[in-house]
Structure 1
Amino acid sequence: MPLTIAICDDNKAQIKELNRLLEKWSADKPLDLNIDEYISAESFLFGYADKPCDILLLDIEMSGINGMELARKLRANGDMLPIVFITGYSDYISEGYDVEALHYLIKPVNESKFFAVLDKFTQRNTVSEQIILPCGSETLRISPERITYVEAQGRRTAVHFSGGQMFDCNMSISRFEDMVIHGFVHCHRSYLVNLRYVRSITKTDIILDNNTTVPISRRLYNEVNTQFIKFYTGEK
């Protein structure tokens, strides 16, 4: 199973230690582990656009944009990237709840607690469903949970991500729909939307968490509305 973990910390020694722990944790697991390192929130925001990750290990006390500010920026864009705060301070725990952090670990990181957090994350199968997108001269492996909506552009599609990124892909929207990805609904002949990011539905539009508006056809309104309710109530 492929898994990309990003570490964002302005302490190189801490990054090295987290790398050591991750390698130890993954040694006996069927994982294709990739670790991306960032020395600041600014460098993460710059790199994240082209190098999506499955989970972020984030320090809080950093120069420039601190970790909590970075988390708020992601959430403001509707990006629900799983975040584990790793810090030397306990003062921010309540703020961690505000940005829906996955967990909060105090430095020095306790190995057993760290491993337990990672085990719980992988057991939830949040990264087990991956798809391959042919985009220009490269091929991307991504988690569909990070896609907010897909827009048809002739024989190509524009795939929009929760962080605000957009990739122009060499595939039709019907081919994307054939992947049968849970949580996506056809709301218009030219649009597929991820119900995870839908804030509200009107007769003419779908409004996403980041305030993006996606059109909905009159013919599909009842079906989309039904699927939206089922998705959040757990009905079959």
Structure 2
Amino acid sequence: MISIAVCDKDRVRTNRIKDVLDDMLSSKGVSYHLFCLSDGNGLMELLADDSSGITIIFLDIGPDDGGGRQLAAEITARYPHIALIDSSNAGQGADRAREQLLRSTVARVLERALNQTPREEADKARVLTVMAKGAVHNFMIDAIEYIMSDRRIVIIHENGAETAIYAKLDDIEEKIGPGFVRCHQSYLVNMSRIKTFDNKKIRLFSDTVIPISQKRRIQAREKYFRYLGGTMNK
């Protein structure tokens, strides 16, 4: 059983998402429970109820809705294991391109949810341990947005908080696991926090912008698209 939430005031978009889910999940024989909400407060109350078990959220994060972007950032910070899908284009017309985009996005996220192993569930609670100058620093990996290095100092950004320690970014990259991408000599980014990824920069759900160096561009894109489970057009 998969629990999915749709938070959107537009009933056309909500109904279209429901139709796509019914079609795709019924063909796989997968049962699911769908929560339909029209406001962010109701969504946050639902997420606060541990019994809801929400793993996927469709949310209007369109450019005309600043509240949607803020809500997305808050959800990502509090519930990093939940997959967010932008529903802002789901109801704009019925052309084949938008329909295919919606279906491909849903298929990718559903595949990750259905194929998640117990080991991956356990990985959500992984801790990054860094020893520096005789002190032991522990960080919840899923709470880390990105890590930035400045010479011998590494700054770990966690949901708005910053911790500076003496360490090497190369050493942290080896420890932190496959969920992070090195897009720049000085930056290591949690891929679950990425909102947009283009040739020059990464924008996180928090609206933080991370540069992509020319040297690491292709490798970073390839790793991110593997993480998404898709293919890359170079």
Query: Normalization by structure 1: what TM-score?
Result: 0.47
Query: Normalization by structure 2: what TM-score?
Result: 0.47
